């Protein structure tokens, strides 16, 4: 089925990609080849997400998620071909941009490979999995957006700090629901290594740091997101349960995306269209309600 190959790139994970791209783009001045840049970076990250599923087929089967490869709906050979095509196309397009942009782009590519592929496999190494996500989205993704519309400056790393900690906080909580499956598969993630209680404490600290940095740097977008998210993370810390953890992720994380919609109003109908298309696809294809807030 054609749509299987579209959804293999995991469109829900492209939402944070677009979010941090837009934040960086706005911070850089809001000019430049916007559509070409965001298209190229979306292709790159789509390839990264396919690689992640290829390597994690067994873990995904245990955790009963991401059916397309774990259940053999899409042949493995086809997934490899789609991934390679996306990588080649995205890296080729990156050469239409200046050198600093290409450097950030290539580092994103390398991190995407190291995150999933053995022997490095940062995804299965405590703290490295956390750093890869926080740096990958909060710094590199942000930087790609910034460099689309602005010239390189070391201040990129300063401006990205609140997002580094915001992404890190959310990521820590995402490892918690997968602890049983990851432990069974022999994966030592940050969640497995720290355990649920320490993860919830650390994630709350990260969100708090993000809030403080947002105030210092006068970053209104991250300030809004961190202010709304912190009570959700505190609640998950004080009343730990699968539901409270998932709510901290699935409500806390999208707050930043919704804040970006005020900056770029056309982003909201794009998100709405994506949400509706995914609801329809998963319901008709698998009789499965996804995305949801609690599962």
Sequential DSSP letters for the chain: -HHHHHHTT-HHHHHHHHHHHHHHHHHHTS-S-HHHHHHHHHHHHHHHHHHHHHHTHHHHHHTT--HHHHTTSS-HHHHHHHHHHHHHHHHHHHTTS-HHHHHHHHHHHHHHHHHHSTTT-GGGSTTHHHHHHHHIIIIIIHHHHHHHHS---THHHHHTHHHHHHHHHHHHHHTSTTHHHHHHTT---HHHHH-HHHHHHHHHHHHHHHHHHHHHHT-HHHHHHHHHHHHHHHHHHHS--HHHHHHHHHTHHHHHHHHHHHHSTTHHHHHHHHHHHHHHHHHHHHS---S-S--
List, for residues 161-187, the tens digit of each pLDDT value: 999 999 999 999 999 998 987 888 788
Task: Give the per-residue pLDDT at 191.
Answer: 96
Q: Report the number of distinct structural domains present in the chain.
A: 1
In a domain, 31, yes or no: yes
For 266-295, what is the mean pLDDT? 86
In a domain, 269, yes or no: no
Query: CB–CB of 203/190 below 8 Å?
Result: no
In a domain, 147, yes or no: yes
In a domain, 177, yes or no: yes
What is the distance between the alpha carbons of residues 264 and 24, in angstroms, rounded to a whole number?
A: 13
Per-residue pLDDT for 295 more than 70? no
In a domain, 49, yes or no: yes
Query: CB–CB of 24/146 below 8 Å?
Result: yes
For 123-144, what is the mean pLDDT? 97
Per-residue pLDDT for 239 more than 90? yes
Q: Which of 159, 145, 151, 149 is nearest to 220 (CA)?
A: 159
In a domain, 287, yes or no: no
List, for residues 2-46, the tens digit of each pLDDT value: 889 999 999 999 999 999 999 999 999 888 899 999 999 999 999
Domain that holds residue 26: 16-264
Model confidence band, residue 231 (pLDDT cutoffs 50, 70, 90): very high
In a domain, 202, yes or no: yes
In a domain, 294, yes or no: no
């Amino acid at each position: 089925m054609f749509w299987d190959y579209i959804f293999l790139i995991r469109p829900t994970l492209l939402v944070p990609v677009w979010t941090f791209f837009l934040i960086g783009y706005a911070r850089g001045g809001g000019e430049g080849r916007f559509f070409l840049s965001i298209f190229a970076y979306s292709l790159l990250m789509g390839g990264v997400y396919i690689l992640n599923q290829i390597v994690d087929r067994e873990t995904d089967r245990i955790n009963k998620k991401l059916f397309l490869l774990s259940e053999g709906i899409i042949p493995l050979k086809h997934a490899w071909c789609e991934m390679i095509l996306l990588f080649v196309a995205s890296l080729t397009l990156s050469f239409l941009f200046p050198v600093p942009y290409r450097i950030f782009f290539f580092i994103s590519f390398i991190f995407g490979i190291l995150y999933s592929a053995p022997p490095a496999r940062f995804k299965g190494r405590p703290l490295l999995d956390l750093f890869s996500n926080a740096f990958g989205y909060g710094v590199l993704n942000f930087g790609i957006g910034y460099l689309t519309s602005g010239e390189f400056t070391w201040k990129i790393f300063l401006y990205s700090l609140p997002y580094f900690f915001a992404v890190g906080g959310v990521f820590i909580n995402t490892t918690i629901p997968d602890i049983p499956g990851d432990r069974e598969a022999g994966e030592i993630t940050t969640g497995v290594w720290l355990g649920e209680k320490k993860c919830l404490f650390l994630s709350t600290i990260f969100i708090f740091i993000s809030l403080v940095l947002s105030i210092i740097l006068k970053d209104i977008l991250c300030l809004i997101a961190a202010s709304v998210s912190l009570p959700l993370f505190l609640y998950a810390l004080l009343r730990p349960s699968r539901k409270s953890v998932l709510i901290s992720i699935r409500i806390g994380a999208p707050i930043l995306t919704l804040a970006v919609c005020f900056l770029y109003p056309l982003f909201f109908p794009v998100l709405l269209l994506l949400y509706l298309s995914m609801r329809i696809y998963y319901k008709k294809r698998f009789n499965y309600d996804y995305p949801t807030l609690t599962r």
